[in-house]
Amino acid sequence: MAALYPLFAFMAALPFSWAAALPQLYTMEHGIVGGVPANVGDYPYIVSIQQEGVGHFCGGSLLNANTVITAAHCASASGDGSVAIYIRAGSLNNTYGGVISNVASWIVHPEFYRMDYDLSIIKLSTPIPSCGDISYVKLPTSDYDPEAGSIVSVAGWGTTNSDDGILSNYLRKVDVHVISRETCEADYAVTKENITAQMMCAGEKAGGKDSCEGDSGGPIVDADGVIVGVTSWGWGCAKAGYPGVYSRVSRFLAFIEEHS
């Protein structure tokens, strides 16, 4: 049987002292399996969240010049804040180009626990204006729930093969289908993990296409470019019968508005 893995198993703990009190979370970070390289302009709002000296560890989405939406579990860490955390925007490659801004603060949803309420807000030290290859993500309407069977697109710099754990430096994307919450609950029943109203699921029944290690916090968007979910967790990567699980952004609009 597959297993859920502890967060950040592939990297050193992030040095944020304010994160020490966060609940322990067991999950699988996500990256793109079965996808293709993204093109300039496909996701002008996506950002790579990086640790100085280590590099990329999570994705996120620019909401405005000062604010990034990402997963709460990306902040699960401890330390004294001595190593900088920053975001890179406006580049398909997460090792160069674009615009860099340091993380000034990281606000985790107060109800975050294990996989539930897995959303957080990053405030940037230097504003990132909308220009050229950078723009801001569009939010859904209140309680918007993508229709089962509709196509959504997920992107990130995660692994392309769940077996090797090697992250991609180049942004990749994949289209997957929304899975109904009822079907997803049945799929995950054996794992004893709940699929809550704060979650949505997407993937392929036969597997082969999914987010995987390293894409946590990144966006999943609908055909109109609206961010409907934030990459959260899953049972392995691209496994048949286990779709990716995403934080359903429409359930967090009040929290996002409060901190944006």
pLDDT of the residue at 104: 95
Fold of 46-136+255-259: Thrombin, subunit H (2.40.10)
- Give whole-number Cα distances, 69 to 64, 213, 256, in Å: 10, 18, 8
pLDDT of the residue at 29: 40
The per-residue pLDDT for range 186-219, each reduced to its tens digit, is 999 988 889 999 999 999 887 666 777 788 999 9
pLDDT of the residue at 209: 67
Q: Which two tokens stand for residue 113?
A: 């626990």
Catalytic pick from 118, 210, 215, 222? 118
pLDDT of the residue at 9: 28
pLDDT of the residue at 161: 67
Same fold, 46-136+255-259 and 137-250: yes
Catalytic pick from 30, 48, 61, 73? 73
What pTM did the predictor assign? 0.86
Spell out the domain ranges in the chain: 46-136+255-259, 137-250
Given a cut of 70, the residues of the chain with pLDDT beneath it are 1-35, 77-81, 161-165, 207-209
Of 207, 174, 172, 221, nearest to 56 by C-alpha is: 172
Residue in the structure block whose two tokens are 């996506």: 46
Percent of the chain's residues with pLDDT above 70: 81
User: Domain 137-250, CATH 3.30.1370.10 — does that match?
Assistant: no
Catalytic residue list contains 222: no
Catalytic residue list contains 73: yes
The per-residue pLDDT for range 95-116, each reduced to its tens digit, is 999 999 999 999 999 999 988 9
Q: What are phi and psi of 219, to 5 degrees?
A: -90, 150
> Are 65 and 123 in contact, with CB atoms under 8 Å apart?
no
Catalytic residue list contains 259: no
Catalytic pick from 101, 211, 216, 232? 216
Which DSSP state fits 236? Answer: S
> Are 208 and 218 in contact, with CB atoms under 8 Å apart?
no
pLDDT of the residue at 34: 62
